[in-house]
Amino acid sequence: MAVTHASVRAWPLLTVLGAGLFLVAVDATVLHVALPDLVRQLRPSAAAQVWIVASYPLAAAPLLLPSATLGDRFGRRRVLVTGYVVFGVASLGCALAPDVPALLAARAALGVGGALIMPVTMALLRELFPDRRRRRTAIAVCSGIAGTGSVFGPVLGGLLVQAWGWRATFLVNPPVILAAVVAALRWLPRSPPGRAPWDALSAVLAAGGVLGIAAAVGPSGGGFAAGAAGCVLLALFVRRQRRAETPLLDLALFRRPGVPAAAGGILLVMSTLVGLGLLLAQYLQVVLGLSPTAAAARLLLVLGASAAGSVVAPALLERFGNTRVRTAGFALAAAALGIPATGGLGSPWWLGGALAGSGLGMALALTSSTDTLLAAAPADRAGGAAAVEKTGYELGAGLGTTAFGSLAAAVYAAHLAVPPGVPDAAARLASAGPAQAEAAAHDFAAATELLTAARAACTVSVQVAASVACGLFAVAALLSAFRKADV
């Protein structure tokens, strides 16, 4: 089937693309609710816990640009199917991992598969929907799938953990991936390979630069050296792109109206959605004492609001334009996050409003930003634009986990008042986090007091993290409001 006739079956093909995109998004957050059960079984250290969650997006982020341009060069269907296979095999590796190192390795391989899937999926939207009005609807659907998947991850994780344990969170992937591979090979149109050579050196420079920056703020704190090395590699990458006859990434993309703001918006939305979502999932279980299923049910408010935002976004974009919709999304998210920041965590009604409002605002910001990026690139270079979008997506997920996680851990440790009579071993375990405090609080007289102190410190840490997120969205809304409008 020729690519030029793909639009005849474009909407059914969107289901095939959406299935893989959904699983990739789910796996960024599926361990949020499952983490306490995983901690009880594998007993990872505090740093290892953050790495288990963050290794997936941080492995994906450096590979997104190279894998997207691989699709432009060698055919998008081929790269997409390869990504599906890697993702499915890595999911089995996670489910069968006997210890923490094996799980970390499998989670990183999962990120490699995700990096092959995501940008190619979004680039195919540019190919399958050349009409911008129809493409906006398709983008809204895929952005809704991605946002819904990120939010649905804890919900699915809670249900599976409650029934079968944390390993079941990975066993749902292989059957869906197998069906997606069969459907893609049968129905997805073959993209003609590009004529331009694939620049492997540029791919290495881009991947190394993103990896260095990610390592600088990662769970182990790579610090100045890693960040400096990443910046140097990215500078060399930019220099090479400016001189290359056929660059891996067309840097002119970033000079087009709205593109830098859109890329920053995606980074901000995903870092908050994933990072703050992890903290809220922990708060609901440890502080409020909810089961994994009940905690996941609370997070369904974000899911529903995100889905609603994806439904109304195309009409809003058509009427008001991307800049106004993105600004409104930022402002709504800031207002909603102000609720937990100012002490509204204890009320189910206020917390529900915060979850719903932030989900709606982030969906509007994410859809408008994605549309801006994909519309800015010509069809034959759509992979590069999609890679920028998905790099922001995965880098945001990874940095959100590490940045918000590190901030919350520092606030928690500073506010944890260990009561007298707690054994030293239990105090050291409790200082690693509220889930560890829950595991440590038994078989000694001050166990109840220790758990109460841990819950209080956890509440403060979530409030501080929400305050930071609220401030970032407020600043983003102000900056977006005073920028030149993009189409």
442 alpha carbon, distance to own chain's centre: 36
Tens of each residue's pLDDT in the chain, 487 residues: 344 444 446 677 777 777 777 888 777 777 767 777 787 788 777 677 777 877 887 788 777 777 767 776 777 788 888 999 999 999 999 989 888 899 999 998 998 898 888 777 777 776 777 776 777 777 777 766 766 666 667 667 777 777 788 888 888 889 888 888 888 887 777 766 656 666 778 878 877 887 777 677 655 555 677 778 888 988 898 888 888 777 767 677 777 777 787 888 888 887 887 778 778 877 887 788 877 777 777 777 877 787 788 778 888 888 888 888 989 999 999 999 999 888 877 777 788 888 889 889 988 988 888 888 777 666 555 556 666 666 676 667 667 777 787 788 888 888 888 888 778 877 877 787 777 777 777 767 777 888 888 888 889 999 999 999 999 999 989 988 876 655 5
Spatial CB neighbours of 255, under 8 Å, sequence gap ≥ 6 = none
**Closest to 241 measured CA to CA, from 57, 381, 370:** 381
Per DSSP, the residues of 96-122 read T--SHHHHHHHHHHHHHHHHHHHHHHH
pLDDT of residue 106: 93
148-163: per-residue pLDDT in tens?
A: 666 667 667 777 777 7
Tally helices (H) and strands (E) across the chain.
Answer: 20, 0
pLDDT of residue 4: 43
Secondary structure percentages of the chain, helix, strand, coil, to 5: 85, 0, 15
Lookup: tokens for 109: 């391989």
pLDDT of residue 2: 40
Lookup: tokens for 428: 């050291």
Integer angstrom CA distances of residue 467 from 150, 342, 348: 21, 8, 19
pLDDT of residue 185: 83
187-237: per-residue pLDDT in tens?
A: 777 766 656 666 778 878 877 887 777 677 655 555 677 778 888 988 898
Average pLDDT for the chain: 78
pLDDT of residue 147: 63
pLDDT of residue 144: 66
pLDDT of residue 117: 86
CA distance 433 to 398: 19
CA distance 309 to 304: 9
pLDDT of residue 442: 72
φ/ψ of residue 140, rounded to 5: -60, -40
Integer angstrom CA distances of residue 90 from 109, 112, 403: 6, 9, 26
> Per the confidence metrics, is the pTM higher than 0.75?
no
**Burial (CB count <10 Å: 0-12, 13-18, 19+), residue 243:** exposed
